[in-house]
Structure 1
Amino acid sequence: MNQFNRYALVTGLLVISFFGACAQGKMKVTLEDVFKKNTFYEQSVRGINWMNDGQYYSSQINMMGYPQVVKMNVATGQQESILLDGKVLGLNFSSYSFNSDESKALVATDVESIYRRSSKGVFYVVDLASGEKQQLMNGEKISYATLSPDNDKVAFIKDNNLYTVDLATNDLTQITTDGSWNQVINGAADWVYEEEFSMAQAFKWSPDGKKIAFIRFDESEVPEFNMQLWGPLYPADYKFKYPKAGEKNSEVSIYVYDLASGQSTKMDSGQETDIYLPRIYWTKDPNQLAFIRLNRLQNQLDLFHADASTGESELIISESSATYVDLNYNDDLQYLSDGKSFIRTSEQDGYKHIYHHEMDGTLIRQITTGNWEVTSMVGIDEKAKKIYFISAEASPMERNFYEIGLNGKGKKALTPEKGTHRINMSPDHRFFIDYHTTTQQPSRITLNKSNGELVTVLEDNASLRNIVSSFALGKKEFFSFPTVDGTELNGYMIKPTDFDPNKKYPVLMYVYGGPGSQNVLNSWGGTRDMWHQALVAEGIFVACIDNRGTGGRGRDFKHSTYANLGALETIDQIEGGKYLAKLPFIDEERVGIWGWSYGGYMSSLALMKGSDVFKAAIAVAPVTTWRYYDTIYTERYLQTPQLNPSGYDDNSPIMHVNKLKGNFLLIHGTGDDNVHFQNTVDLVDALITADKQFETFYYPNRNHGIYGGNTTWHLYSMMTDFLKRKL
């Protein structure tokens, strides 16, 4: 094993239901193994940055407690040099990026998380030849520092305003001046865009480095949410703008700043202000900006091209739906270098596929077709006229890597092995790195030629495989069954390794179930999977079912829950509980269910509406009424509460507390900025009013993930104890 492999950074607790017979002498998984000893670390290859000449890539590793960025030879997989050395620089950096000619690197230190995707930190520009470092803003914390394509400047956000700094002179230019906390944000997303449109940075350099496009958020009229932070003598109020369903959103607008003139020009996005502007793109023309507009109900998506100098815009493509147009399925827009056409994805024919358009929007052709989903575009090789993509063609439970011609012909699987493949492809499309897992195999990371031919194995997690082989782990077995209306649902179950078909076992179902999500996949699982293995070691069956509304099976399956969240999903989970209860080795009196977030919403409803099936449930950080959740997510699936009040109320757990019969454990963090603690407070109040006994626990100041220090150990220990007592 080469030096790089030996010191590849650990990226997390990624563990799985690995096949293992309960052979004599094998150990049982314990909570201590999972949460105290960190027995099941998975090695990975991280921080990949393909280099310009196509012969090398860089990767961030950890060397004796210090970060390093090393230069790797693509052909051999061997390390050739050290590009950045944290020990030499005196910087404990956590991320890095290069400028366009790879003469400079931008590194981030002392990074502080804000919400799910936002952060701020201290940034340095490092000259790779001399090793000299230049600190930005005298060490003040800034966000989203980004080098200009012409290598001269860095743009960043500070205190809700957009700045640039000239690297040669260190001259600072403040582009916006009206940024203010809880009022106006320039160049960074507000809370709800960050959470639901998966964006934090909201500015982009033009291809020639002469302009910057940015989104401005006026959130002055968005209602504030007040979250108390416990600890001081007088608890502090933390107030931030959070638009709950039906309430006012930020007013958004797009500007382009010209560095030469020092002027900003507003792009024309139409007269309607109650809209979303979730994406900006530069075309290959440095004076042409593209952007996406969604209406409030998200059932119409429009693509515009705008003149960056005048702001005049032209509608290029408009797509509408009787339900909603999912941005996540229309988010692979790429402009070709000839400046004459672009490639995008859409699920307009019922499945997410790839389309080729002329610059005026005229369709050239639909490149992929079939009753299966393209899950992501990976790359476009214009010289070879090929597109590389990942899809669920083989099965909704598999993800494989393919190539296809721009003419829609010659589709070929490049990773035929079953399982889940995550791909990082070089910009010249000569090589790709494949992160491959299955339910029985932790990450095997390989460097491959573009035709799929193996170059070298970068990491095979041999150490973890050896560790796993010494434990008696249950195998994850897939199954399917029909619901009451005949719809086939996919699921998996994990049996104890000493399974006795003559015994009766309790079963715990794990659920998330939200629109477009998937839990039933042929992939290496996470910490929760390993907790499930600890439960299996205690003689508890674990099972999981992807209900209607989940992903990987096309638009109609996903959109079936539209305007009535919780109805079909709960029916499917109850039907799943009944299916499992009828198995000869399951004790029908000991069927439980648990979930987190949307899964907590589902487990609460399942226990209340399915009281004849479920005897116990755990709900962690649940939504208990969609009236308390944010605009973008909730209205996409339910419209507004003003338009669809029954869709909000009919399947709120708060409305079904009188049906509770089983054992219920309700858990929430008081510092949850996403699914507010308010959800649990109101459910608790309704349960008390209905004279229902239950158990509840809150974690002071913990956010939606409920972690930090001893928290995770405490949480899973408590849940394990509850299941032992009640299931």
Structure 2
Amino acid sequence: MKKHLPNPLKFKFHFLFLTLIGFSFIGISQTSELSVEKIMQDPNWMGTFPSNVKWSADSETIYFDYNPEKNTKDSLYKIDLSNTSKISKVSLEEERKLISRYGDFNKDRSKKIFSKKGNLVIYDVKSGETTQLLDLSESISNAEFMADENKISFTLGDNAFIYNRKVGSIKQITNIKSGKAKEEKEEKISDKDAWVRDENLELLEVVNQRKTEEKNEEAYREATAEEETFTFYLEDRNLSSLQVSPNAKFATFKLITRESGENTNVPNYVDESGYTVNLPARSKVGENQTKVELAIYNFEKDTVYNIKTDELPGITDLPDYVKDYPDKEWEETDREVVPTTVYFSENGEHAVVNIRSKDNKDRWIAKINLETGELNTLDRQRDEAWIAGPGIGYTFYGGEDMGWLPDNKHIYFQSEETGYSHLYLLDVTSGNKKALTEGDFEVFDPELSNNKKHWFLTTSEVGPGERHFYKMPVMGGKMEKLTQMEGNNNVYLSPDEKNMAILHSYSNKPWELYLKKTKANAEAKQLTEGQSEAFSNYEWREPELIEFEAEDGAMVPARLYKPEADVKNNAAVVFVHGAGYLQNAHKWWSSYFREYMFHNLLTDLGYTVIDIDYRGSAGYGRDWRTGIYRHMGGKDLSDQVDGVEYLIENHGISPEKVGIYGGSYGGFITLMGMFTEPETFKAGAALRSVTDWAHYNHGYTSNILNEPAADPIAYRRSSPIYFAEGLEGDLLIAHGMVDVNVHFQDVVRLSQRLIELGKEDWEMAIYPVEDHGFVEPSSWTDEYRRILELFNESLLD
């Protein structure tokens, strides 16, 4: 007879029993220095690790968030280059005086303009002095030097201004107002009221005379009034991204019309008020009514006009998936597009814009004719799945790595044209495009050097499991590798580019801060040593990076944790990372640090653990990224199954002793595995899992599965709730009740489905105070002791 999962009380009692006497099973004694309580306690127990690194404006001091006092949150600390052995806490007074990392430098980088507490401030690099230039009634933002550096543009409210430093004058250069223009409205009254009015005017001479005089005065005012200044009215739209061209001839801005879809509410049953309070949350996929227009403000013509997107190449193209719906009539019309960002050349004479189709299958980079609003397409990227990848950005939010070289002729951008995200230059005068990087690797965060002669960039050229920092000539050429430490190197260049502050980590070593000269052969000096004694006393494993062959011939990367032979229990646990597009089989400290520690505990107890970068994961190029298009639970799940086959064939794992677990996307894969691959997975823990993709958000889901009404096939084959009848093994479902990302409703609907199907071998653990990412150590501990109990009970009997 199939064994049922123990009830929660049994979980608690059994776990306490195990911690008292050591973990023991039939014929084998397996123990660990670790326990669930230890690894799931407040992360402060691990030590103090630096984050959020930034430099002082004079390049003499490194600032970073740190917490050696174990306070409720980090504080700001610093290390001066004059004494790198000393770490000091930054006083509030010093912190208030720091120069913002944001703002705009002039061409020779001698001055920086920025907004501080809503005021306009200028910083002199040589003297180190800051001067407040403007303190106005509203907050100043988006301050930039113009081509004439005596002039600074900025925005205030919905309008743009220019401050002339030479004469100290301020000029408003746009006249944008909310609402609608005043129009003469015809008086609309009923026939009855019109009769009463006319009868009254006919009977009462004085009233009639006053009405006539009023009309005559209004007519005189209109005839003698001076011509009004041009005003652009937003009407029912919101203004965004207002920016002025460096030559002050044009401004561009976005007009956003939002039609809110039907949002869902997440009930909070433990609100401090004692009442159930609904938390506002997102709408579901398919609710995407936002319209974005790009407008040009022409100062010489004193008018505003929109850019024209109807001539973009392929604007009417239908996606390939329509072939799966031969009975549906598809109309070829102009697709809706979203302009993300406008980029002006340094002299202000040229501008390019990045435009995305709302279905996210096209990205156009186009030159704008600023006089007419017409577009000349320079580059079109089409992906029948969806446009994405490092440096390419997102449909509504931009975020692409893009800009101009100082020659006012070349633009740079990233593209997955070759299957990997690389850096390109394009001559806007000739249309010629040149790849600056190439190969089976990806490029991250390219930035021009101060003198505009070189690029600084991070790549995965050494291998997908490493990140290193490089320097390269601006027009392309050999990349010089500036970091040498194996793992991940997050580099923060000093403003003078002479030094690099590096956050470095390895697979079994959390992040620490290093200092290195910006030279390939310089030695990196470690500045922090954050591990606590309790954490460093355990010998944390370095997981083995492996590859195994999938059913379609692809080589799948994974992390492997192998137990010692004398404790090996021939059982395996498959961990599925979340987010879908995320990398976890790498050589640096994982963002899943709790899970990493749990895998060490499992391995101590004799389990073999595999952590797979399945199809859809980041770090391996376009084809890997889009391998889940229109079928979540397809190749991403078969990669897990093939990983199990690899363990059975190569590491002596018993086919009857395999469990699977993961959170969010990993929880979704766990459910799909338990429902559709019951012969492979005997137990599973699905944490904060999506159960029906039609109930998730639009931005993420519509890229991968399109929209439910347009592509129901993709949703039906991708959603676990449709396959619940396949459950045979032991399933634990765990979910936070105030999860505003993957709503608690997901597992409520699934539980009802399991009840109606008569399924018995499942349990649900609910966490009343937790959102999607748990924060309470008690919740983490409760959740993971249930997972451990599940595997111990289901896989080792």
What range describes the TM-score normalised by the shorter chain of this pair?
A: 0.7 to 0.9
Q: Are 2:225 and 1:225 aligned?
A: no
Output the amino acid matched with 2:560.
M
Within 1, Cα distance between the matches of 2:243 and 2:777? Answer: 37
Task: Tell me the equivalent position of 2:589.
Answer: 524
Q: Are 2:481 and 1:413 aligned?
A: yes
Instruction: Tell me if structure 1 keeps the 8 A contact 2:253–2:296.
Output: yes
Task: Tell me the equivalent position of 1:46.
Answer: 52
Instruction: Tell me if structure 2 keeps the 8 A contact 1:513–1:602.
Output: no
Task: Tell me the equivalent position of 2:378.
Answer: 316
Q: Which moved more, 1:586-595 or 1:598-607?
A: 586-595
Match of 2:661 among 578, 594, 599: 594
Match of 1:533 among 600, 615, 630: 600
Match of 2:553 among 461, 486, 511: 486
Output the amino acid matched with 2:92.
G
Q: CA deviation at 1:455?
A: 6.2
Match of 1:560 among 624, 627, 632: 627
Q: CA deviation at 1:126?
A: 8.2
Q: CA deviation at 1:40?
A: 1.3
Instruction: Tell me if structure 2 keeps the 8 A contact 1:603–1:619.
Output: yes
Q: Are 2:288 and 1:248 aligned?
A: yes
Q: CA deviation at 1:521?
A: 0.6
Gapped regions of structure 2 (runs ≥ 5)? 1-30, 124-128, 181-235, 312-333, 393-399
Match of 2:368 among 300, 306, 321: 306
Output the amino acid matched with 1:612.
E
| 1:538-549 mapped onto 2 (5 Å cutoff) | 538-549=605-616
Task: Tell me the equivalent position of 2:337.
Answer: 275
Q: CA deviation at 1:46?
A: 2.9
What secondary structure sits across from 1:418 in the alignment? coil
What secondary structure sits across from 2:615 in the alignment? coil
Instruction: Tell me if structure 1 keeps the 8 A contact 2:467–2:487.
Output: yes
Output the amino acid matched with 1:432.
M
**What CA deviation, in whole Å up to 9, does each residue of 1:301-347 have, x standing for no partner?**
11123356764443222122333322645332131122110221111
Instruction: Tell me if structure 1 keeps the 8 A contact 2:350–2:408.
Output: no
Instruction: Tell me if structure 2 keeps the 8 A contact 1:67–1:93.
Output: no
Instruction: Tell me if structure 2 keeps the 8 A contact 1:184–1:218.
Output: yes
**What CA deviation, in whole Å up to 9, does each residue of 1:492-520 have, x standing for no partner?**
12234xx2257424322111376543210
Instruction: Tell me if structure 2 keeps the 8 A contact 1:674–1:704.
Output: yes
Q: Which moved more, 1:383-392 or 1:352-361?
A: 383-392
Output the amino acid matched with 1:519.
N
The verdict on how the C-alpha distance between 1:174 and 1:384 changes in structure 2, with shifts beyond 3 A counting, is closer
Task: Tell me the equivalent position of 1:619.
Answer: 686
Within 1, Cα distance between the matches of 2:261 and 2:571? Answer: 47
Output the amino acid matched with 1:338.
D
Q: Are 2:607 and 1:508 aligned?
A: no
Q: CA deviation at 1:239?
A: 4.3
Instruction: Tell me if structure 2 keeps the 8 A contact 1:306–1:314.
Output: yes
Task: Tell me the equivalent position of 2:410.
Answer: 341
Q: CA deviation at 1:291?
A: 2.5
**What CA deviation, in whole Å up to 9, does each residue of 1:434-475 have, x standing for no partner?**
3222213333433333332436525342x4186544114333
The verdict on how the C-alpha distance between 1:35 and 1:215 changes in structure 2, with shifts beyond 3 A counting, is farther
The verdict on how the C-alpha distance between 1:29 and 1:99 changes in structure 2, with shifts beyond 3 A counting, is farther
Q: CA deviation at 1:489?
A: 1.1
Output the amino acid matched with 2:423.
I
Instruction: Tell me if structure 1 keeps the 8 A contact 2:468–2:488.
Output: yes
Task: Tell me the equivalent position of 2:13.
Answer: none
TM-score (norm 1): 0.77
Q: Are 2:425 and 1:356 aligned?
A: yes
The verdict on how the C-alpha distance between 1:60 and 1:137 changes in structure 2, with shifts beyond 3 A counting, is farther
Within 1, Cα distance between the matches of 2:431 and 2:132? Answer: 50
| Coordinate RMSD, CA, aligned | 4.4
The verdict on how the C-alpha distance between 1:292 and 1:585 changes in structure 2, with shifts beyond 3 A counting, is same
Matched pairs, number: 655
Q: Which moved more, 1:275-284 or 1:63-72?
A: 63-72
Task: Tell me the equivalent position of 1:12.
Answer: none
Within 2, Cα distance between the matches of 1:697 and 1:170? Answer: 62
Q: CA deviation at 1:348?
A: 0.7
The verdict on how the C-alpha distance between 1:26 and 1:238 changes in structure 2, with shifts beyond 3 A counting, is closer
Task: Tell me the equivalent position of 2:6.
Answer: none
Within 1, Cα distance between the matches of 2:613 and 2:135? Answer: 49
What secondary structure sits across from 2:448 in the alignment? strand
Q: CA deviation at 1:708?
A: 5.1
Q: Are 2:516 and 1:475 aligned?
A: no
What secondary structure sits across from 1:394 in the alignment? coil
| 1:19-38 mapped onto 2 (5 Å cutoff) | 27-28=33-34, 30-36=36-42, 38=44
Output the amino acid matched with 1:325.
I
Instruction: Tell me if structure 1 keeps the 8 A contact 2:405–2:452.
Output: no
Q: CA deviation at 1:484?
A: 2.2
The verdict on how the C-alpha distance between 1:698 and 1:290 changes in structure 2, with shifts beyond 3 A counting, is farther
Output the amino acid matched with 2:486.
K
Instruction: Tell me if structure 2 keeps the 8 A contact 1:506–1:540.
Output: yes
Match of 1:235 among 260, 267, 276: 276
Q: CA deviation at 1:137?
A: 7.5
What secondary structure sits across from 2:465 in the alignment? coil
The verdict on how the C-alpha distance between 1:203 and 1:518 changes in structure 2, with shifts beyond 3 A counting, is farther
Gapped regions of structure 1 (runs ≥ 5)? 1-24, 109-122, 188-201
Task: Tell me the equivalent position of 1:550.
Answer: 617
**What CA deviation, in whole Å up to 9, does each residue of 1:330-374 have, x standing for no partner?**
33213112211022111112222221111247224212222x122
The verdict on how the C-alpha distance between 1:207 and 1:475 changes in structure 2, with shifts beyond 3 A counting, is same
Q: Are 2:437 and 1:396 aligned?
A: no
**What CA deviation, in whole Å up to 9, does each residue of 1:213-271 have, x standing for no partner?**
543432225333333343356534444563x3334331112346799999866444448
Instruction: Tell me if structure 2 keeps the 8 A contact 1:316–1:361.
Output: no
Within 1, Cα distance between the matches of 2:133 and 2:475? Answer: 48
Q: Are 2:780 and 1:684 aligned?
A: no
Within 2, Cα distance between the matches of 1:544 and 1:103? Answer: 46
What secondary structure sits across from 2:718 in the alignment? coil
The verdict on how the C-alpha distance between 1:28 and 1:415 changes in structure 2, with shifts beyond 3 A counting, is same
Q: Which moved more, 1:584-593 or 1:659-668?
A: 584-593
What secondary structure sits across from 2:41 in the alignment? helix
Output the amino acid matched with 2:683.
A
The verdict on how the C-alpha distance between 1:436 and 1:36 changes in structure 2, with shifts beyond 3 A counting, is closer
Within 1, Cα distance between the matches of 2:452 and 2:113? Answer: 31
Task: Tell me the equivalent position of 1:366.
Answer: 435
The verdict on how the C-alpha distance between 1:184 and 1:610 changes in structure 2, with shifts beyond 3 A counting, is farther
Instruction: Tell me if structure 2 keeps the 8 A contact 1:287–1:307.
Output: no
Q: Which moved more, 1:645-654 or 1:665-674?
A: 665-674
Identity %: 21
Within 2, Cα distance between the matches of 1:655 and 1:612? Answer: 18
What secondary structure sits across from 1:698 in the alignment? strand
**What CA deviation, in whole Å up to 9, does each residue of 1:687-718 have, x standing for no partner?**
12211132123333643223357544444444
What secondary structure sits across from 1:315 in the alignment? strand
Within 2, Cα distance between the matches of 1:264 and 1:56? Answer: 47
Q: Are 2:516 and 1:448 aligned?
A: yes
What secondary structure sits across from 1:345 in the alignment? strand
Q: CA deviation at 1:561?
A: 2.7
Output the amino acid matched with 1:59.
Y
What secondary structure sits across from 1:679 in the alignment? helix
The verdict on how the C-alpha distance between 1:273 and 1:79 changes in structure 2, with shifts beyond 3 A counting, is farther
Q: CA deviation at 1:719?
A: 3.7
Q: Which moved more, 1:634-643 or 1:481-490?
A: 634-643
